[in-house]
Amino acid sequence: MSNNKQRPIGVFDSGVGGLTNVRALMERLPMENIVYFGDTARVPYGVKSRATIETFTAQIVEFLLQNDVKALVIACNTIAAVAGQKVRAMAGNMPVLDVITAGAEAALATTRTNHIGVMATSTTVNSNAYARAIHSRNPDVRVQSQACPLLVPLVEEGWLDHEVTRLTAREYLKPLLADDIDTLVLGCTHYPLLKPLLKAEAPGITLVDSALTTAEAAAQALAAADLLNSGNGSADYRFYVSDIPLRFRTIGERFLGRSMEQIEMVSLG
C-alpha cells in the first residue's frame, strides 16, 4: 500500500491463541488493517530448541514483512521470551510489541502491594521471562509464577465455564493466593477467555489481560510513530496459517469472537 498509515499490523503466534490479541486490536484500533499468521503446522513451540524457535520465527517475520506490515505484534509468550530480540533485529525501526513486555508493564502500573502473580504455560514459567521483565523495571517487586498446563486444552475444548475448568483453575490459584498477590498476569494467549471464571475464583485480585495491554501498547506506539490509520473505509483482516487442522475454524472463531472469512494456508521454510 502506498499510504504508510494504511499498511496492516502484522500479528503472529505459534498457533491459534494469538487471535485473542487480534480481537483486542480490532476493538482498540477498529480502523487498522491486520494480517495474522498462526504456525499451526508446527505448534507447540514450547518443546522446541531456541535455535528452532528462532528459525521458525524468522520465517514468519519474513512472510509478514513481505505483506508490507507497518508494525509487528508478537502474540506468543514463547516467541517473545526466546526470539524477541531476533524479531526486533529483523524489524529495524518498525514498532514491535510483545505480550510479555506489555503484560509486565501493566502489572507494575497496577499493583499496590508489589506482589504480582503470573499464570502461564510451563515453558513460559520455566523461561522466567515475566519475572525478568518485571524485575528489570522494579527489582523490589515479588513475582510468583504458576505453570498451568491443563488450562490450554480446556479452553480449546470450549469448557470456559465448566466445573472441571473451575476446579483446575482453583488448584492453580491456591499458591498464588497464598502468596498474597494483588495483581495476576494472564501470561498465555488462551487465558483471557477464562477471565469471568478467574475473577470469580480470585475476588479482589486485579487481572492483567496481556491481549488488552498489548493492544494499548500498539495504539501508543503507532501514534508515536504517526502510523495510526485515519482512513474511513472498513478494516481488512487476513488470516494465514501453516495448516488448517480439524476444528481450527471453530476454535479460532471462539478466540476471535467473530467469523473468520479469509483463512489461507501458506507453507514456510
**Exposed, middle or buried, 166 (CB in 10 Å: 0-12/13-18/19+)?**
middle
Cell matching residue 100: 510479555
Note if 148 is an active site residue.
no
Average pLDDT over residues 241-247: 87
Of the residues 34, 76, 119, 208, only one is catalytic, namely 76
Of the residues 35, 73, 188, 202, only one is catalytic, namely 188
Angstrom distance (rounded) from CA 196 to CA 198: 6
Average pLDDT over residues 237-254: 90
Query: What is the rounded end-to-end Cα distance, in angstroms, of the chain?
Result: 26
Task: Tell me the whole-structure pTM to 2 decimals.
Answer: 0.92
Average pLDDT over residues 122-128: 90
Q: What is the CA radius of gyration of the chain?
A: 18
CATH fold for the domain made of 4-98+213-265: Rossmann fold (3.40.50)
46 is in an annotated binding site: yes
136 is in an annotated binding site: no
Decide the pairing of beta strands 183-187 and 9-13.
Answer: unpaired
Cell matching residue 186: 494472564
- Give residue 123's pLDDT: 86
Q: What is the CATH number of domain 100-210?
A: 3.40.50.1860
Mean pLDDT of the chain: 94
Positions of CATH 3.40.50.1860 in the chain: 4-98+213-265, 100-210
- Give residue 2's pLDDT: 45
Picking from 220, 175, 168, the residue whose alpha carbon sits closest to that of residue 194 is 168
Q: Please, which residues bridge with residue 239 across strands?
A: 36, 263
pLDDT at 1 over 60: no
127 is in an annotated binding site: no
189 is in an annotated binding site: yes
